[in-house]
């Protein structure tokens, strides 16, 4: 009864509330980030290696991934809780094992709905386990970063499985646990999901997603520029920010980075970048790359670390995960700066302590990308590792 009364009062208040007008913005907290929403999903089927590869080619800062659990508790990259929209099958993701999901075609729908972007190669595209996404693109670029959204929490199991996976892979404490530097950020519209993540992995940075401030929690966050202790950064939708640009400064004043979703046109990108947004999710990372580069407010190519050329399709990694225990690679935070280093490739002995190259050195080896095949061969000889090639598909 009390909650319903408060909700009614809030609805009436929102009709007359005038949020603070736009003030002179102080600028972003750091370089403005290009976040590929489900990969370069305007041009290739979302959450497939095709879309992720294309995003790397478009020189993004981060890959965004929505994570759900299969019936056998393997985290997979898919937005909807069902496979209906993006595959040739139907039903809940959670009702299928990974092996069953791998039998589905996650590419043909895109060709049908996007004839101008269609490609025969997309037909038969496979679902991507989250662990394979990590291993594929960290092998290509150890400086790559991942914006991971928890969806259905599966009664709290999703957060537990996700943090167990990231712990096993050595990816919990990268970048000193800072939003601006961590290799992995966890985002969610569900505050309880972020609270569970923080309880399981206190150093893993979190980002709270929300739309219009139409409930008491979101209104308080919007007006105060801060939220619960388990929320490290915030991501209001872009319409929210356009209606109340000074919210960015309020978040910044409280030490929070601000990202926003999902912006696909150049004019809106330019406006939000001018307001001092820290990162933008987009289906069109090529357009956002140009917008940020024209302003000169983004990361440098060296800081992004994306290679100019790499092997597409994720050979050696695509298809190898069979359970929530991998098999997969193990990583560790880079000795200096952000990024990671490969500690142990799946099925291989670990790299001797102190012998692993720094992430920055790895990027430099390919002129701003991941370790090239030739460089890996050299490392194999030096380190006596049976290392597999680091090339990744696009």
Q: Which of 37, 47, 147, 252 is catalytic?
A: 37
What distances in angstroms separate CA 84 from CA 71, 92, 93, 101, 202, one per listed residue? 16, 8, 9, 12, 35
Catalytic residue at 79? yes
CA dist 311 and 138 (Å) reads 13
70-104 b/e (C-beta count within 10 Å ≥ 16 → b)? beebbbbbbbbebbeebbeeeeebeebebebbbeb
Q: Which of 47, 79, 147, 252 is catalytic?
A: 79
CB atoms near residue 10 (< 10 Å): 17
Considering Cα of 249, then 255, then 260, then 265, what sign does the dihedral take?
positive
φ and ψ at residue 95, rounded to 5 degrees: -90, -10
Helices 157-168 and 130-140, axial angle in degrees (round to 10): 30
Catalytic residue at 47? no
What distances in angstroms separate CA 112 from CA 44, 61, 88, 119, 381, one per listed residue? 12, 30, 12, 10, 48
Ordered alpha helix ranges (H), the chain:
2-16, 49-57, 98-101, 108-113, 130-140, 157-168, 191-200, 216-224, 238-243, 247-253, 266-275, 285-295, 301-304, 359-365, 373-383
Are 77 and 127 a contacting pair, CB within 8 Å?
Answer: yes
Active site amino acids: 37, 79
């Amino acid at each position: 009864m009390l909650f319903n009364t408060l909700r009614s009062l809030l609805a009436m208040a929102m009709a007359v509330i005038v949020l603070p007008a736009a003030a002179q913005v102080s600028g972003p907290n750091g370089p403005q980030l290009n976040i590929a929403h489900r990969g370069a999903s305007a041009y290739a089927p979302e959450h497939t290696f095709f879309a992720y590869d294309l995003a790397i080619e478009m020189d993004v800062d981060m890959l965004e991934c929505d994570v759900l659990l299969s019936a056998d508790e393997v985290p997979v990259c898919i937005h909807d809780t069902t496979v209906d929209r993006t595959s040739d099958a139907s039903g809940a993701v959670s009702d299928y094992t990974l092996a069953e999901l791998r039998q589905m075609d996650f590419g043909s729908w895109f060709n049908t709905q996007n004839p101008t972007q269609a490609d025969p190669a997309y037909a038969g595209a496979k679902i991507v386990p989250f662990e394979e996404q990590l291993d594929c693109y960290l092998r290509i670029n150890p400086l790559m970063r991942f914006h991971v959204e928890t969806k259905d929490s599966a009664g709290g199991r999703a957060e537990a499985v996700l943090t167990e996976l990231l712990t096993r892979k050595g990816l919990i404490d990268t970048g000193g646990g800072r939003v601006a530097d961590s290799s992995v950020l966890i985002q969610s519209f569900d505050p309880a999901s972020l609270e569970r993540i923080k309880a399981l992995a206190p150093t893993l940075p979190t980002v709270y997603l929300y739309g219009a401030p139409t409930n008491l929690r979101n209104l308080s966050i919007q007006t105060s520029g801060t939220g619960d202790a388990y929320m490290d950064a915030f991501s209001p939708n872009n319409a929210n920010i356009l209606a109340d640009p000074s919210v960015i400064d309020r978040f910044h004043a409280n030490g929070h980075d601000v990202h926003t979703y999902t912006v696909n046109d150049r004019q809106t990108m330019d406006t939000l970048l001018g307001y001092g947004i820290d990162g933008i999710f987009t289906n069109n990372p090529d357009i956002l790359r140009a917008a940020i580069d024209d302003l000169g407010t983004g990361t440098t190519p060296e800081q992004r670390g994306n290679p100019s050329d790499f092997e597409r399709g994720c050979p050696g990694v695509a298809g190898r995960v069979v359970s929530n225990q991998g098999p997969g690679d193990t990583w560790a935070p880079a000795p200096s700066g952000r990024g990671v280093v490969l500690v142990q490739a799946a099925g291989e002995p670990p790299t001797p302590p102190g012998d692993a190259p720094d992430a920055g050195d790895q990027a430099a080896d390919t002129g701003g990308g991941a370790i090239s095949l030739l460089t890996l061969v050299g490392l194999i000889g030096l380190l006596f590792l049976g290392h597999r090639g680091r090339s990744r598909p696009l």
